[in-house]
Chains A and B, each alone.
Chain A
């Protein structure tokens, strides 16, 4: 090698630390296993799998191009307002409007709207157009706006040039295509929160929970218990009643405090707006997963690849035709749009909104019963008794080694048993009932947290809601919360009330 070439190598060495940097493959949402089981179809149609993937992609986008679909019960961020036309406009109406913000979006404080922010202007629909229009916009740069084939006018993408909060004056770089009418809707920075949440999620959560929220990120395989798979829309530790989904606060509480006894660490130092954005993004991922599941479940009965493979030539042709007919069907209850809308409105919007209501949150009827030896003894009686049946799973000593952990359990919704004895959660993971002697409370250690675990059960797990009164639950809470501190000498008198076996391993608390 010539001397000059050697000299040239020296500056190149300086670049070594940067090796491996640069843009990698854009992340993609992973398709659910159930969707993979759907019929692939042929050239002439019957592409059930592609149809589901396409639909989900269309309404949710990809990680690098998120879609804001306003039908969803998600706070996507940005500001929404309506045009107010003043009586004497003192500005150029071609590119500026006064705006009245929606109450929820802008409070007392002035919104921070920088020049260059993206905005969507929605001209008023003609009077004859149907009231309900499919609202859909996209986020991030360079995406086309997709609109449903409804008679509403096309939304127009604009760029904010400036904003004066005093006057409520919003100025755009472009002129409006037509003079804006009072009441026309303007969205400023739509999806800002979702995009922010995505960035934070990819930074903090993705490597365990996965890009898709399927609990299958790169580090997930090293973890036991497994990271939560959001795609069923089920979260374990909630303050809401049994039939409800999780409240936003519940997700925030888990992110803030972590889950002791698992690999979920605390993210206490996140700012409030960061926390909001992450929680909202997780809810959005849950919606996306649930909808994918719903669509797949709907089609799997008739249009699985398994059924297709099993069919003879005519049968295959019939399946393809049936699927095409299914999509094209005008019957309100059969058509693709109908199941799609039903899945969104019933499965997502209503359920997620209901969980945010005050009525969904469990509040005890009575304050906590004082943790006296008598209350603890009553709790112990309930624990071992037939009414609450805690002992079946959690074991006589609260060690999480009850009889059920040694029995073969039925696979949920079938008559088959699992191949291994023990309890399983709805995600198919084998799980242990909580060892109550450790003093680790995954859903929080406040009495109210333990109360809610007992009252509503733990969603997605075999832990059922207890059918006992609130006062009884408090007794049970007192008993359960006394377990980590139990010593043989102290527990003996309390046990007098209990008829069943005494805790065998009491006093053996792990520190």
Chain B
């Protein structure tokens, strides 16, 4: 029986490690076994692997120590145990080393976090300098996404609308316009270039989550939150709500369609055509 626990604590971490290595090929890893579909997402994945490496090494080290101690105790039943009231040196070491590691992670990830969350660090086309300022490449948001129980309502600015500065964007967010285009559960965005949406909610807290783009952001009542991404590949990405928002939470499945710029423009045009359909032309064209 005394070797049982040695065996148990040795096998358990080995099994975990084995699973960890097998996971990607079993499709238990990142969504659909794919790398992130955005440059920022790839940096986030990098951080994930870094932390996985650190915690993995720590896990393996502590497990080896644990197994060694158990094994020593099992083999050497005669030896006397050393009794200690504590070691100041040891405590300082095991406080400073993890603190150092945490501090390193905290500092190392700041860039990625800032690029992901802080608007001033967004790609230059998405932010204009100051409230009134603007610059030539400024493009503004592609849409405003409003979560509600239990769907996503999307409002695109008219393709003719040009935002020159932040003030115009704010105005647009505050006042829906007659030429805005609307869809539900279907967000289109151009690929390659960075795009931004503003996220809000009509009722409770929801969360905007597109796993393949590594974008996740809570929609908080009363806040209008900018999110950006740069999809590298045209595709239909799964988009879900990832904040338990009520009994119909599971219904909030939608899609983000990333498509080449010309397809995106064609989509907006066809949306405009159908939204301003007066039923007359279509009837006579048939």
Task: Report which A residues bind B (CB closer than 8 A).
Answer: 204, 207, 219, 257-258, 260, 263, 265-269, 362-364, 366-368, 439, 445-448, 451-452, 474, 481-482, 484-485, 509, 511
Q: Interface-forming stretch among B79-87, B179-187, B206-214?
A: B179-187
Whole-angstrom CA separation of A451 from B176 in the bound complex: 21
Q: Is B58 an interface residue (CB 8 A)?
A: no
Known: A263-B150, A439-B176. 9 other contacts (CB 8 A): A266-B184, A268-B186, A362-B279, A446-B277, A448-B279, A481-B178, A482-B178, A484-B178, A485-B177
Interface 1/0 per residue, B43-82 and A, CB below 8 Å: 0000000000000000000000000000000000000000
Measured between C-beta atoms, what is the minimum distance from A428 to chain B in Å? 25
Closest A residue to B185 by beta carbon equals: A268
Q: Given A363-B280, A367-B281, A447-B277 in contact, is the A265-B176 Cβ separation under 8 Å?
A: no
Q: Are A447 and B184 neighbours in the complex by a CB distance under 8 Å?
A: no
Q: Given A263-B149, A265-B251, A269-B254 in contact, is the A447-B278 Cβ separation under 8 Å?
A: yes
Measured between C-beta atoms, what is the minimum distance from A470 to chain B in Å? 9
Among B151, B153, B176, B252: residue with most chain A CB under 10 A: B151
Q: Which of B141-193 contact A (CB under 8 A)?
A: 149-151, 153, 174-178, 182, 184-186
Q: Are A268 and B278 neighbours in the complex by a CB distance under 8 Å?
A: no
Measured between C-beta atoms, what is the minimum distance from A437 to chain B in Å? 11
Q: Are A269 and B277 neighbours in the complex by a CB distance under 8 Å?
A: no
21 contacts between A and B (CB under 8 A): A204-B251, A258-B151, A263-B150, A263-B248, A265-B150, A265-B252, A266-B184, A266-B185, A267-B251, A268-B184, A268-B185, A269-B253, A269-B254, A367-B278, A368-B280, A447-B276, A452-B279, A481-B178, A484-B176, A511-B174, A511-B175
Interface size class of B (residues with CB under 8 A): 20 to 34
Q: Are B153 and A260 neighbours in the complex by a CB distance under 8 Å?
A: yes
Q: Are B254 and A368 neighbours in the complex by a CB distance under 8 Å?
A: no
Q: Is B115 an interface residue (CB 8 A)?
A: no
Q: Are A265 and B248 neighbours in the complex by a CB distance under 8 Å?
A: yes
Whole-angstrom CA separation of A269 from B255 in the bound complex: 8
Q: Which of B186, B276, B280 contacts A364 (CB 8 A)?
A: B280
Cβ–Cβ < 8 Å partners of B149 in chain A:
263, 265
Closest A residue to B248 by beta carbon equals: A265
Cβ–Cβ < 8 Å partners of B275 in chain A:
445-446
Cβ–Cβ < 8 Å partners of A263 in chain B:
149-150, 248
Measured between C-beta atoms, what is the minimum distance from A173 to chain B in Å? 39
Closest A residue to B175 by beta carbon equals: A511
Q: Are A257 and B277 neighbours in the complex by a CB distance under 8 Å?
A: no
Q: Which 5 A-B pairs have the closest CB atoms?
A: A448-B279, A368-B278, A266-B184, A367-B280, A265-B151
Q: Is B283 an interface residue (CB 8 A)?
A: yes
Closest B residue to A218 by beta carbon equals: B247
Closest A residue to B276 by beta carbon equals: A447
Whole-angstrom CA separation of A356 from B283 in the bound complex: 16
Cβ–Cβ < 8 Å partners of B253 in chain A:
269
